[in-house]
Amino acid sequence: MFKPSVLIVALGILIGSVSTGYCTRPNVDVWNLRHDEGSGAFGEVVFDGNLFVAVGHDPVGTIFKSSDGETWNSATSGSTALLSGATYGEGLFIVTGSGGEILSSTDGVIWTKQGDGITTATLSCAAYGDGFFLAGGSGGKIVKSVDGTTWEEYSTTESAWLYGMEYGDGSFVSVGGGGVIHTSPDGQVWTKRTSGTGNDLNSVTYGSGLFVAVGTGGTILSSPDGVSWTPKTSGVVSHLSGVHYAYGKFVAVGDSGVILYSADGANWSKPNSGATSNLVEVTAGKNTFVVVGEERKIYQSATEGMNVLYMSPALR
């Protein structure tokens, strides 16, 4: 019987060298419950390359951390705010919440309050890109910082609540109540875009040259530039609260344990997550996706292994 692998190895001998390896990748069809408090709620989760950090608003000041997405421990935030926004950049976690709360940490353990008095708006989302941090929320308010310590306040063109924010392809995109979408190159001057929906948009991500936003009623929109948006069919009517791109997949989460995934932002699959409570946000790291939600539950995707073939350049 002809074996292609024999031919590949033979060619490798002729043109260079061949070796095999093994790696893992997320299996988004299988999900495991990693943490369950039975009450309360997480609002956001981020990953810095080594550490996952989840923040919440019930009880106030909730912060949990994990090195692997499986075992979670609480951290002392010293905050009495409802925490719902988080991002990471330049070696710094930034967490935001009600009453203009802004916290920073280099390790996810020790947290310092920043920007005191800069705004009274609830800062429900945050993002990092192009060398600075942004956070947005109620009244269309935006705050900006280059170092996470000193902040300035700006605003979008209207007072709609901002629920999600992302940086990609040289532009920030914010989404929010009533289907509002704004874009900005610098976090200071914002331009309103036409979303084509009146549904609340709760989260936005960027990956593979595409922005994807999700919202109430199973709403999913995509855009190559943040300016022109196209509706996509999600196949669900559940409210979608979070979306993230990593490992070649968009993963969206929402009410009643809904998890969706797509390779192109247009065609979506719905695995059996095993979750029944509302899921709020999702991030990725260490070859897995991590989802947080109400009852302070945390789910993590399984991993699967794959063999890979490495071929070195030809010997000269």
Please state whether 195 falls in left (phi above 0), alpha (psi between -120 and 50) or beta.
alpha
| Blockwise average pLDDT, block size 10, the chain, 316 residues | 42 50 83 97 98 96 98 97 97 98 98 96 98 98 98 94 98 98 97 98 98 98 98 98 98 98 98 96 98 98 69 45
Q: What is the pLDDT of residue 158?
A: 87
Give the per-residue pLDDT at 304. 86
Phi (first) and psi of residue 173, to 5 degrees: -125, 130
Whole-angstrom Cα distance, residue 91 to residue 34?
Answer: 26
Q: Tell me the CB-side half-sphere exposure of residue 221, using CA atoms within 13 A.
A: 29
Domain boundaries, the chain: 22-312
Q: How many residues does the chain have?
A: 316
Distance CA 227, CA 300 (A): 33
In the prediction, which pLDDT does 157 show? 85
State the burial class of residue 1 (Cβ atoms within 10 Å of its Cβ: 0-12, 13-18, 19+). exposed
* Residue 290, pLDDT score: 98
pLDDT of the residue at 16: 55
For residue 313, the SS3 value is coil
Class of domain 22-312: mainly beta
- What is d(CA 119, CA 19) in angstroms, rounded to the nearest whole number? 57
Paired residues of 52 in beta bridges:
47, 66
pTM of the model: 0.90
Query: Would you state the pLDDT for residue 313?
Result: 52
